Structure 1
Amino acid sequence: MPPLSPTGATAAEQTAAADLLMQAREAYNAGDHARARELAEQVVERYPGTRSSSPALLLAARAAHEAGDHEAAIAMAQRYAGLFPAGSPDAQPALELVERARAALADDAPVLIGVIVPQSGSPYLKQYADLVLEGVRLAAERERGAGRPVELVVVDDGGDPARAAERIRELERRGAVGVVGPLLEAGIVAAARARTDSALVLISPTAPETGERLSNVYSLVAGDTRGAEVLATYAARTGLRNVALLYPGTRTYRAQAQAFAAALQRQGGRIVADVPYDSGTTTFGAQVRQIAAANPQAVFVPAPERDVRLIAPQLAFYGLKDRGVQVLGGEAWASDEVLRQVERSYLDGVVAATPLHKLSPESGWRAFTERYESTYRRSLTSDLPALGYDAAQLLIQALGRDRRPAPGDVARRIATTADLRGATGILSVQNGTLVRRPYLVRIEGGELIPIGASALPSGPSPGT
């Protein structure tokens, strides 16, 4: 074997080098790779002109590899291979070591999850992004604590769809297997269209429905009709078969009203008044009078929090409560904001379907709150960290046990997610949409009282 240096060596140096190399081999064979590397490197450094120097270099490379220092192993093995002409069989052991070390590096490398959020531009958006990021980082830290190396790659889209498209391509180049974000509807559409691999999953914590079906794109706030269907079953089972509908005429709430109506009619009920209203309406006298004239037993009101705060008092003012009309509400009726801001008498007796009952033992909300407050040393006052946490958790659980999952592997597992206990509810994917298991509650004295399972559908249903 050629020496590492052509300078030559004295007989004494050849003897000393050979003795050190023998000790290094003994340490290597005994499994003491750190000692073997140390002794072999002494030969390389002190006696580069001896016959023992090149075997010592290869031994040091092998010892470094066994000890987990794969980058050093690659550098030393490549130096050894460079002592020989291209294609020489003498270089083959070193080249094989290089391949093994590179494979080990790939196995040890963390799985990359991309995060596209505004870190510049609108201060309002950045504030939202920072809260989402807190939850995403909690999920990644929890996974690292469980032994899986997960690395977050956070990139800034500034709330700009064009930049979101650029960032998704950057994350693909860097090897991300899934992406949390973007936060805005236009951003997630632009990013989805810009992917070179449509299997790369995007999960937005905050973007509403995109209005088009995009492969492997999910939102944690997409419209979910399961609560409406469960409320319809409750109404039918409790004898409320003549029901009116009051809802804003936007896509999300119209879908909930239609789902309720279809489910009620399948069970023998009927819609006696269908009353959509324009988004932004502030006075509901005409709509409520139209409903009262139809003599319903119940009224289903899927609406945003702002509208619920206005509608609840007007239902009482126009006499529906006095006539015993049961109010059935979407999830906004059970929100903290509505419970805090609307007079209790207007809410008492309302039956609502909510995907998150924070006090339920089934919910992951309390565990998440404890983890959040312990980590950040402040109270959790927003749902945004929980949404970020669940977006990241969905991707992490879809990694499976693979050391190096591909985007397609993650996409397939996400598509079959069922009953994942998240911070914001029990999450599943149905027909390409993220949904949550609905809870039925009755509002009494500002509290949410769970309604027994006997009121829910039996067998396969929207709520299971």
Structure 2
Amino acid sequence: MRRRALVAGLAGLAGLAGCQARGLSRIGFLAGLSGRGAATSVDGRNGAILAVEQVNAAGDTGGRPLELVVQDNGDDPATARKAMENLVAAQVQAVVGPFASAIAIAVLPQATQAGLLLVSPNATASVLAGKDDMLLMLSPCTRDTTRAYAQLLWQRGHRRMAVATATDPRNAVYAVAWRDEFCAAFQALGGAVAATVDFASDAATAYGDVVREMLQQRPDGLVFACGSVDAVRLAQQAQRQAPGLPMAVADAAGGEALIALGGRAVEGVLVGQMHDRSSTSARYLAFVAAYQARFGRGPGYHAAIAHDAVTVLVQAAARSRAGESLKQAVLRHGPYDGLQQPIGFDGFGDTTRAPSFVVVQDGRYQPLR
């Protein structure tokens, strides 16, 4: 039954069929499968697993099935570096991941030394962009994403926003950049940043105090630059202290965990995501059906973008020329068949995708109208 579902899914994902070429046989996967980000990382792992299984189910892999080697980078750089050591030892030819900017910074020197290409679905800190290194970014950098947030909030009538930011080491690389770039973009439009409140993402944090400080300056909306668990806790406090006040969360918080943990507290929350859940693309609908059949639930955006990462590697290998490294092949032979839009890279391995804005309504992400 599972094989039939996978093969059926290939009807809409033909770009993956028959693409294993020039020795691509083992891909690594690196994400935080334990800790606070586990839910979204598992979703990403499942998307990568599905992509690899679909390549193998097509039956044209040169007699050697494509293999996915999975490693958990945990929540800290030391664990991540050990996980990267394991992937290098396993002789993977590329890595899908990591998903966090701080982890990308931690393991990039190892990848560089090993000549190992990292294709990150979700590392977006601007400090990683515009560099000729072994990291390719499938999501736009925070500078582009926050500009889209600022423009949308301004268009929706917001003029005074308060921002809460997770500034502990685990989150700061992404969240601080997100806050700074959002504030700059919003102020450039004529808006005011009424308050910025920093907090540590840990059990000792008094989230009620964070929200209380944000509200003191009477903002007309709240923005949370953090992960999904912290966003839920802040939203819960905001609903108690200022019911009905509009809230937006950074794109990193917009996974399945936000809804699963947030319940009614996150109703109405605005979030930008890197894929459109309402897409009618044949490739995307085939992916959703195959994912549902394989894992018994619908995919989140981390699954979709991890699937795209495998697609990039497989199609680049198939299109490569003799003597090209995998990085050279990826940069030279795009665009690639993303689930919802073509995927291309500039000379630095950065990509441009416009976020699709959604709101939480009745426990589901709904397109913004």
Query: Structures share a fold, TM > 0.5?
Result: yes
Name the CA distance, whole Å, in 2 between partners of 1:130 and 1:229: 29
Could you tell me which residue of structure 1 aligns to residue 162 of structure 2?
244
Name the CA distance, whole Å, in 2 between partners of 1:364 and 1:330: 27
Could you tell me which residue of structure 1 aligns to residue 50 of structure 2?
135
Name the CA distance, whole Å, in 2 between partners of 1:208 and 1:441: 19
Matched-pair contact (CA < 8 Å) for 2:207–2:237: yes
Matched-pair contact (CA < 8 Å) for 1:189–1:210: no
Name the CA distance, whole Å, in 2 between partners of 1:139 and 1:434: 25
Deviations 1:162-202 (A, max 9, x none): 3433445xx6xxxxxx623475755554233222xxxx643
Name the CA distance, whole Å, in 2 between partners of 1:394 and 1:229: 27
Distance 1:303 1:427, change over 3 A: farther
Matched-pair contact (CA < 8 Å) for 1:181–1:202: yes
Say which SS state the counterpart of residue 338 (structure 2) adopts.
strand
Could you tell me which residue of structure 1 aligns to residue 24 of structure 2?
113
Could you tell me which residue of structure 1 aligns to residue 193 of structure 2?
271
Say which SS state the counterpart of residue 23 (structure 2) adopts.
strand
Could you tell me which residue of structure 2 aligns to residue 340 of structure 1?
260
Partner amino acid for 2:145?
Answer: G
Deviation (angstroms), 1:307: 0.7
Could you tell me which residue of structure 1 aligns to residue 79 of structure 2?
none
Name the CA distance, whole Å, in 2 between partners of 1:150 and 1:182: 27
Could you tell me which residue of structure 2 aligns to residue 218 of structure 1?
136
Matched-pair contact (CA < 8 Å) for 1:135–1:388: no
Matched-pair contact (CA < 8 Å) for 1:426–1:436: no
Matched-pair contact (CA < 8 Å) for 2:121–2:305: yes
Name the CA distance, whole Å, in 2 between partners of 1:114 and 1:275: 47
Matched-pair contact (CA < 8 Å) for 2:199–2:205: no
Q: 1:316 aligns with which of 215, 218, 239?
A: 239
Deviation (angstroms), 1:393: 0.5
Name the CA distance, whole Å, in 1 between partners of 2:68 and 2:367: 42
Q: 2:215 aligns with which of 292, 298, 307?
A: 292
Say which SS state the counterpart of residue 343 (structure 1) adopts.
helix
Distance 1:347 1:161, change over 3 A: closer
Matched-pair contact (CA < 8 Å) for 1:352–1:441: yes
Matched-pair contact (CA < 8 Å) for 2:258–2:266: no
Deviation (angstroms), 1:446: 2.2
TM-score (norm 2): 0.69
Distance 1:219 1:152, change over 3 A: farther
Matched-pair contact (CA < 8 Å) for 1:356–1:363: no
Written as runs of structure 1 = structure 2, the 5 A alignment for 1:324-403 is 325-331=245-251, 334-344=254-264, 346-362=265-281, 365-373=284-292, 376=294, 378-380=295-297, 386-399=304-317, 401=319
Deviations 1:223-282 (A, max 9, x none): 644432212101222321221111211111111112211211221112121112112254
Name the CA distance, whole Å, in 1 between partners of 2:34 and 2:193: 46
Say which SS state the counterpart of residue 396 (structure 1) adopts.
helix
Could you tell me which residue of structure 1 aligns to residue 356 of structure 2?
439
Bigger relative contact order, structure 1 or 2, given CA contacts below 8 A and separation 6+?
2
Name the CA distance, whole Å, in 2 between partners of 1:229 and 1:130: 29
Matched-pair contact (CA < 8 Å) for 2:246–2:268: yes
Unaligned stretches of 5+ in structure 2?
1-19, 72-81
Distance 1:116 1:442, change over 3 A: closer
Q: Does 1:258 align with 2:185?
A: no
**Corresponding pairs, count:** 319
Could you tell me which residue of structure 2 aligns to residue 96 of structure 1?
none
Name the CA distance, whole Å, in 1 between partners of 2:45 and 2:153: 41
Deviation (angstroms), 1:398: 3.0
Could you tell me which residue of structure 2 aligns to residue 230 of structure 1?
148
Deviations 1:32-70 (A, max 9, x none): xxxxxxxxxxxxxxxxxxxxxxxxxxxxxxxxxxxxxxx
Distance 1:222 1:180, change over 3 A: farther
Deviation (angstroms), 1:410: 0.9
Name the CA distance, whole Å, in 1 between partners of 2:139 and 2:338: 16
Partner amino acid for 1:394?
Answer: V
Name the CA distance, whole Å, in 1 between partners of 2:213 and 2:34: 44
Name the CA distance, whole Å, in 1 between partners of 2:357 and 2:181: 16
Name the CA distance, whole Å, in 2 between partners of 1:210 and 1:149: 39
Matched-pair contact (CA < 8 Å) for 2:248–2:269: yes
Name the CA distance, whole Å, in 2 between partners of 1:410 and 1:312: 44
Q: 2:119 aligns with which of 200, 203, 218?
A: 203
Say which SS state the counterpart of residue 301 (structure 1) adopts.
strand
Q: 1:192 aligns with which of 105, 112, 120?
A: 112
Partner amino acid for 1:265?
Answer: Q
Matched-pair contact (CA < 8 Å) for 2:278–2:367: no
Distance 1:308 1:400, change over 3 A: same
Deviations 1:74-112 (A, max 9, x none): xxxxxxxxxxxxxxxxxxxxxxxxxxxxxxxxxxx9422
Partner amino acid for 1:437?
Answer: A
Deviation (angstroms), 1:285: 2.4
Calculate percent identity across the aligned residue pairs: 18
Distance 1:203 1:401, change over 3 A: closer
Taking only aligned residues, the RMSD between alpha carbons, in angstroms, comes to 4.2
Distance 1:403 1:432, change over 3 A: closer
Matched-pair contact (CA < 8 Å) for 1:421–1:427: yes
Unaligned stretches of 5+ in structure 1?
1-108, 172-177, 453-464
